[in-house]
Amino acid sequence: MALALDFPQHSALSTQHSQDLLRFSTAGSVDDGKSTLIGRLLYETKQIFDDQLEAVERASKQQGADYLNLALLTDGLRAERQQGITIDVAYRYFATPRRKFIIADTPGHVQYTRNMVTGASTSDLALILVDARNGVVEQTRRHALLSALLGVPRMVVCVNKMDLAGYSRETFESIRSEFEAFAAGLDVVDVTYIPISALKGDNVVERSSNMEWYDGEPLLTYLEHVPSADYRRLDALRYPVQWVIRPLTDAHHDYRGYAGQIEAGSVRPGDEVLVLPAGLTTRVDSVDTFEGPLAEASAPQSVTLLLADHLDISRGDMICSPDRPPRSTNSVEATLCWLGSDPLRLDAPYLIQHTTRRVRGVVSSLDHKLDPNTLDRDESASTLRLNDIGRVSLRIAQPLFLDHYHDCRATGSFILIDPATNNTVAGGLVL
């Protein structure tokens, strides 16, 4: 299972999978203008219905604004509108003739870092906003670090509110240099820098005449052309079994199917597969769907596999490529992002949810806690608290079938659950 619940893309967009799709998250500190920027993109690409626009116009006037407050298009919760901040992750969809987009507008307040993790965990690109008046702040660094840890391969740093900084090139270059120094310690393929004004529209869709010194692309052009290839995609089969289908009717008394979602690779009838933890091999008889059998299926399709042999297979088992299986282990080294209000308790029992498999385990040791500002490691730390990030070792009662997170997000991530409250307390990335 992925670190966070996938947003509802497959039902609406997988049918149009042939069209290019880019998933990106917005991040930054409070009041850096994330919601305004997303509202600007939606507005300029004509994704807003007339009644939505009228509602935003009314709300803007009620707030005393003499301009169209585009942030109200994404700050959908009443508490968000009243406080002027983003609390929950707001998913938005828009398209241009060249590409489709899924946006995760994530919170900027440190209190909602866990919500930002949710949005970034399924993104191909992180769009990080920096207020030109404030420069790089703690939340900027924290969100950049989390995006890098979550395997987001690219970042675009938008230096926003350039209109309030006099469209100063010196201000932009200073912020760029500061962020470059920090990003040098992150595992990111590339970082792009764009000076913008989300409120005024400078360099969002069209090049700005107020910043002729900037010779790069406007943001939308960059988003339309940046490669969207998933560098973490494993081509070996990973198929966690979610459900065993036994109709038990006279017409289908021999039917035994294994339903689930293909997390990596592809599968065809006739393929040899390995079943874990049994360690037995068999062949695929059929790849079924509600619409009928398929000649081939690949990630992220949800299908039902029929196998040549009747094996003892249940929910949580893994069907995979026999020549490139995942690592089966009872011990895990991982990076944890602590999401619970109560701190980590070493050697206390937790439930570990990995794909469709749930097992018991303990965090046996905390190797270090990471400082999001300096990237220094605090090896003297004894626990992790809300929004802390650290490297840990876990002991597990039953084996998990793991890949490195950067190879496959689904089989390289897990969540920790407090068995007493059933609350999710941490997200983990397999090292």
- Which domains, ranges and CATH numbers included, belong to the chain? 10-225 (3.40.50.300), 238-320 (2.40.30.10), 327-430 (2.40.30.10)
Please answer whether residues 350 and 342 qualify as being in contact, where contact means their C-beta atoms are separated by less than 8 angstroms: no
3-state secondary structure string, 269-324?
CCCEEEEECCCEEEEEEEEECCCCCECCEECCCEEEEEECCCCCCCCCCEEECCCC
Query: How many Å apart are CA 146 and CA 409, to the nearest integer?
Result: 14
Please answer whether residues 296 and 303 qualify as being in contact, where contact means their C-beta atoms are separated by less than 8 angstroms: no
Phi first, then psi, for residue 180 (nearest 5°) are -60, -40
Question: Which among 219, 199, 179, 224 has a CA at the least distance from the CA of 28?
Answer: 179
- What pLDDT is attached to residue 25? 87
Residue 99 tokens read as: 């590409």
Locate all alpha helices (DSSP H) within 32-183, ordered by sequence. Answer: 34-44, 50-62, 78-83, 113-120, 138-149, 169-183
Distance in angstroms between the alpha carbons of the first and the last residue of the chain: 16
- What pLDDT is attached to residue 143? 85
Please answer whether residues 3 and 427 qualify as being in contact, where contact means their C-beta atoms are separated by less than 8 angstroms: yes
Query: How many Å apart are CA 308 and CA 283, to the nearest integer?
Result: 5
Please answer whether residues 413 and 405 qualify as being in contact, where contact means their C-beta atoms are separated by less than 8 angstroms: yes
Phi first, then psi, for residue 256 (nearest 5°) are -140, 105
Question: Which among 30, 68, 36, 71 has a CA at the least distance from the CA of 219?
Answer: 36
Query: How many Å apart are CA 429 and CA 254, to the nearest integer?
Result: 40
Query: How many Å apart are CA 111 and CA 412, to the nearest integer?
Result: 26
Residues recorded for the chain: 431
- What pLDDT is attached to residue 188? 81
What SS3 state is found at 103? strand
- What pLDDT is attached to residue 111? 59
Question: Which among 110, 135, 102, 121 has a CA at the least distance from the CA of 8?
Answer: 102
Query: How many Å apart are CA 312 and CA 317, to the nearest integer?
Result: 10
Residue 66 tokens read as: 């003499």
Q: What are the CB-based long-range contacts (under 8 Å, 24+) for 110-115?
A: 110/138, 110/139, 110/142, 110/387, 112/86, 112/87, 112/88, 113/142, 113/143, 113/146, 113/337, 113/387, 114/337, 114/339, 114/386, 114/387, 114/427, 115/87, 115/88, 115/89
3-state secondary structure string, 240-255?
ECCEEECCCCHHHCCC
pLDDT tens per residue across all 431 residues of the chain: 344 333 333 333 343 444 588 999 888 777 778 878 888 888 888 777 666 767 666 766 666 666 666 666 665 533 444 444 444 566 788 899 999 999 887 765 565 566 777 777 788 899 999 999 999 998 888 888 888 888 888 899 999 999 999 999 999 999 999 999 999 888 787 899 999 999 899 999 999 999 999 999 999 999 999 987 554 568 999 999 999 998 766 656 678 999 999 999 999 999 999 999 999 999 999 999 999 999 999 998 999 999 999 899 999 999 999 999 999 999 999 999 998 999 999 999 999 999 999 999 999 999 999 988 788 999 999 999 988 999 999 999 999 999 999 889 899 999 999 999 999 999 999 98
Query: How many Å apart are CA 108 and CA 139, to the nearest integer?
Result: 7
Query: How many Å apart are CA 66 and CA 132, to the nearest integer?
Result: 23
Beta bridge partners of 45: none
Residue 418 tokens read as: 């407090």
